[in-house]
């Protein structure tokens, strides 16, 4: 059984920073890709960033240069460092990990990020 748990969300002013964490438990292997998604009210879920087991990363154009995804395989944890936050970054951030096939793909419960003055 695999579980992913996000943490670190909250309310921050524009220009501020937050660091999200997603910890995996169970039979979660370091070869699995881990991905951050977000969903704003009334919007479709979008990919924010992902990272492969060997550290290759991909970022959405909207967050390039501001967000950094990283992972600590020894801790089965992925992080999202968010800097220079904008109101448009507001949403529920979800952690996803696995192989993206049935039975090997898992989601966290989400953590709310609100960027507002």
Is the pLDDT at 21 greater than 90? The verdict is yes
pLDDT above 90 for 30: no
Measure Cα distances from 83 to 63, 68, 101 in Å. 9, 9, 32
Percent of the chain with pLDDT over 70: 100
Segment 52-72, tens digit of pLDDT: 999 999 999 999 999 999 999
Q: Which is nearest to 11 in space by CA: 98, 117, 113?
A: 113
Residue 75 pLDDT: 92
20's tokens: 């999200």
Query: How far is residue 73's CA from residue 112's CA, in Å, rounded to a whole number?
Result: 24
- Check residue 65 and give its pLDDT: 98
pLDDT at 84: 98
Is 36's pLDDT higher than 90? yes
The pLDDT value given to residue 112 = 98
């Amino acid at each position: 059984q695999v579980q992913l748990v996000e943490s670190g969300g909250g309310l921050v002013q524009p220009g501020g920073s937050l660091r999200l964490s997603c910890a995996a438990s169970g039979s979660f292997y370091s070869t699995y890709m881990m991905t951050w998604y977000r969903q704003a009210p009334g919007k479709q879920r979008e990919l924010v960033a992902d990272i492969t087991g060997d550290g290759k990363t991909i970022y959405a154009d909207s967050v390039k240069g501001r967000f950094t995804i990283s992972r600590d395989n020894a801790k089965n944890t992925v992080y999202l460092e968010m800097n220079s936050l904008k109101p448009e970054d507001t949403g529920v951030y979800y952690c996803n990990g696995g192989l993206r096939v049935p039975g090997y793909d898992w989601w966290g419960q989400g953590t709310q990020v609100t960027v507002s003055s």
